Structure 1
Amino acid sequence: MSFTKILEYILFIALILLTLFNFYSLTVGRKKKKRGETDFRKILANLENKTFEEMKKNHLDFGEKHGYINDSGQGIFLAFDQKKKMLGITILEEFYLIPYDEVLSCEVKNDTLPKDKITNIRVELETKDSQISFAFGKKVWKEKSHLGTFLLSDAKEFCAFVTSHCIPGQKG
């Protein structure tokens, strides 16, 4: 056998292995994506149901709702009652009902680490009575990574909604 024939067989086997690997990752990737979407919907549906119960109990009408998932797989559900000027925020075990006029500020904060990494991405909501913190990212992420920028943009969007609804004269 000549060297070129051996090289052809090696390349042929490498292409077969690469094709099999791509096919495997494609099918497994789709399954993981579907499972992730199902989990996302389930988490937000549970939070929405909890919010709906609180809405009925407090005679509110949350017409505008937004859901978020952090990097720990926990949800944050944000809802607004425009008529009664109330803000509802639901997390795993808590429900916060805050009148619009009690919201003083909403800020996105994170801890910066060396090599352009960030951690502890959070929203700090200051009211007249307290300061509440909502975790959007607890793990370490590169600031420009896909998930790092996604978590930061979700946190900024959360604050933009709160600010535009609750703080007069500001649009987020």
Structure 2
Amino acid sequence: MSATTIFQYILLIALILFTAFNFYAFTVGKKKKQQATNNYQQTLKALEQQAYEAMQERKIHFDQKQGYINDLNEGILITFDHANHLVGITLKDAFYLFGFSDFLGVKQTYDTLENGKLTNIAVEIETKDSVITLLFGTKEWKRNSYLGKFLLSDSQELCTLLERECKSAASTN
């Protein structure tokens, strides 16, 4: 056998292994994505049930909702009752309710470590009575990683949503 023939066999084996790895990654990745989607839906469904029970207790009606998930796979459900100018925040172990007029501000916070990674990605909501902190990222994330960008984007989206809904209602009163 010549060196060219040996090289061709090695290349063929490498291509077969590469194809097998890609096929495996594709099928496993698809299953993991489906599992993550199912977990997200189950988490938000449980939070929606909690929000519904709180709504029934207080005789209010949430007409808008937005769900988020953090890096611990815990959900955050933001609900709005535009008729009564109320915001409800449902977490696994807590429920917060405040009026649009009690809303003072919201900001995204995070810590930057020496290695440039981000941690403690959170949203702080300031009301007349308290400060509510919602954790989005507890682990270390590179700013440009897929999950790092996702957590920063979601937490900023929540800030924008609260500002828009609460401030626009206050300006119409």
> TM-score normalised to the size of structure 1?
0.95
Q: Equivalents in 1 of 2:106, 2:49: separation in Å? A: 25
CA RMSD of aligned residues (A): 1.0
Aligned partner of 2:89 in structure 1 is 89
Q: Equivalents in 2 of 1:3, 1:107: separation in Å? A: 64
Deviation string 1:107-165 (CA, Å, 9 cap, x unpaired) is: 10000112431110000011111111000111111112221111111111111111112
The aligned length equals: 169
Aligned partner of 2:60 in structure 1 is 60
Aligned partner of 1:4 in structure 2 is 4
Q: Equivalents in 2 of 1:150, 1:95: separation in Å? A: 24
Deviation string 1:55-75 (CA, Å, 9 cap, x unpaired) is: 111111111100000011000
Aligned partner of 1:20 in structure 2 is 20
Aligned partner of 1:39 in structure 2 is 39
CA drift of 1:53 comes to 0.9
Give structure 2 stretches of 5+ with no counterpart.
Answer: none
**What is the percentage of aligned positions where both structures have the same residue?**
46
Deviation string 1:59-107 (CA, Å, 9 cap, x unpaired) is: 1111110000001100000000000011000001111111111111111
> TM-score normalised to the size of structure 2?
0.94
- Runs of 4+ aligned residues of structure 1 deviating over 3 Å after TM superposition are none
CA drift of 1:23 comes to 0.6
Q: Name the SS for the 2:89 alignment partner.
A: strand
Give structure 1 stretches of 5+ with no counterpart.
Answer: none
Q: Name the SS for the 1:143 alignment partner.
A: coil
Q: Equivalents in 1 of 2:31, 2:156: separation in Å? A: 30
Aligned partner of 2:156 in structure 1 is 156
Letter in 2 for 1:99: G
Q: Equivalents in 2 of 1:165, 1:8: separation in Å? A: 64
Q: Name the SS for the 2:107 alignment partner.
A: strand
Q: Equivalents in 1 of 2:161, 2:149: separation in Å? A: 18
Q: Does 1:123 align with 2:123?
A: yes
